[in-house]
Amino acid sequence: MEGRRILRKLNLMKKVLFFLFFSVTISGVSQTYFTRTGSTNFKASVTAFEPVESTNKSTTVILKTRTGSIAAQLFITAFQFRVALMQEHFNENYMDSNKYPKAVFRGEIADFNFTEASIQKEYNLSGTLTIRGVKKEINTTATVTLDGDKIILSSGFTVAPQDFDIAIPKIVRKKIAETIHITLNYELVEKK
């Protein structure tokens, strides 16, 4: 009777140890890569008028290599323009950055395989972009490369101001493109 109880306890301990070992192994494979200095650019220029373009070099991005899930967040006011007045109008008149300070993307890199990342490879990237509280589905491609201990991710897509309920006043409508080109360039390192 006592021997059976000891055997049951030993079997239970084996199962617990196996579960712990398996969990540690899985978490070792499930790496997270991130950056706080990702570069997000947009261009909404029209030929013959002053360029409407800006760069945000403080995009935070997290990539889970096991699942390919990706999340990005940036502060709207971190977009830097060449012309200060353009930056002021962008934040106050179009983006309402006091009310909506962040843009967020949550999505997935389809069929992402971390072991193939050393080869430059193109993947489908899809998810939801939220700007000014309005969500839009994004479907594009992303190029992913492993460079030493970093993952380099680049992508691009287009959106329209009306996708996010941004009204362009008639007086400047011809100076701003109907579609805005967004490019992403992120250098991600392993989160320790």
What lies within 8 Å, CB to CB, of 56 at 6+ separation is 39, 40, 41, 74, 75, 78, 79, 80
pTM equals 0.81
Q: What is the pLDDT of residue 117?
A: 66
Residues in Cβ contact with 88 at an 8 Å cutoff, skipping those fewer than 6 apart: none
pLDDT of 1 reads: 59
Predicted local distance difference test score (pLDDT) of residue 37? 96
Q: Which residues make Cβ contacts (< 8 Å) with residue 125, sequence separation at least 6?
A: 70, 107, 108, 109, 110, 138, 139, 140, 141, 142, 155
Q: Which residues of the chain have pLDDT under 70?
A: 1-30, 117
What is residue 5's predicted lDDT score, i.e. its pLDDT? Answer: 62
pLDDT of 142: 97
In this prediction, residue 3 carries a pLDDT of: 58
Q: Which of 73, 69, 82 is nearest to 104 (CA)?
A: 73
pLDDT given at position 47: 82
